[in-house]
Structure 1
């Protein structure tokens, strides 16, 4: 039988790579031309922050898989998958529509999914819920930055 951590890791990588392929050079150029708030001094750390958050998410899913009475807990794994899809669609949604509001909406929706997931997994594993906290704290920050950028660039969209 395949190990749970391997299944979760493979699915997470496939989703990330698959949805990451939706990003286009044209979209990158468009996004890089957008004005940013002057206080956004930590933009270079964002890839590191997201890497940590995604690792915590995979680790959280692993904890739930191992702790759930019905092993594997397919319903909860589906919500983890939905959360990762929403996270990974943030950038392609902006690039495809060349619209920061799309990112704001996807970011906010992802946070709601994250809150629901944290509530659902708490009875199964408090550790799994704790591992979702970095996402629950960071997602509103990223969504807020995108919302501010939307205002700064409203004449450009």
Structure 2
């Protein structure tokens, strides 16, 4: 039998890699956008998301191990997966449709899902909930940044 940590880690990695599916011309559009002056941490965003996804995967592992295979646990794994899919769709969909408004909507959806997941997981495991806090903290920052960029790039709304 394959260990649960390996399955959860592999799914996390595969979904994350799926998020880099975008066309070079879409990336060119994003590079040309104006950014807020306070966005000095942009080079660290890939590292930040790596930490966020790793913490999310460990959180999912902890939840799985509390009651492996139960319907409730499977539903929670579905919610973890949905949150990750929404998160990785942010970049590819925003670039594909060239709309910061769409990016903001996807980002806010991720914020809502992360808060719901954290609150749902809290009674099961405090540590699993704590490991979701990087997402709960970082996701609103990314969503706010995208929203702020709409003001700076009205043609990219």
Give the TM-score taking structure 2 as reference length: 0.94
Pairs within 5 Å for 1:1-157: 1-21=1-21, 23-68=22-67, 70-71=69-70, 73-157=73-157
Runs of 4+ in 1 over 6 A off after TM superposition: none
Give aligned pairs, total.
156
Give the CA RMSD over aligned residues: 1.4
| Separation (CA, whole Å) in 2 of partners of 1:69 and 1:24 | 39
Tell me by how many angstroms 1:70 deviates.
Answer: 4.9
The answer for unaligned runs of 5 or more in structure 2 is none
- The TM-score with structure 1 as length reference comes to 0.94
Tell me the CA shift for residue 156 of structure 1.
Answer: 4.5
Secondary structure class of the residue paired with 1:133: helix
The alpha-carbon deviation at position 104 of structure 1 amounts to 0.5
| Contact 2:107–2:142 (8 Å) recurs in 1 | yes
Q: How far apart are 1:20 and its partner, in Å? A: 2.1
Give 1:18 deviation, angstroms: 2.2
Q: Is the 8 A contact 1:68 1:124 kept in 2?
A: no
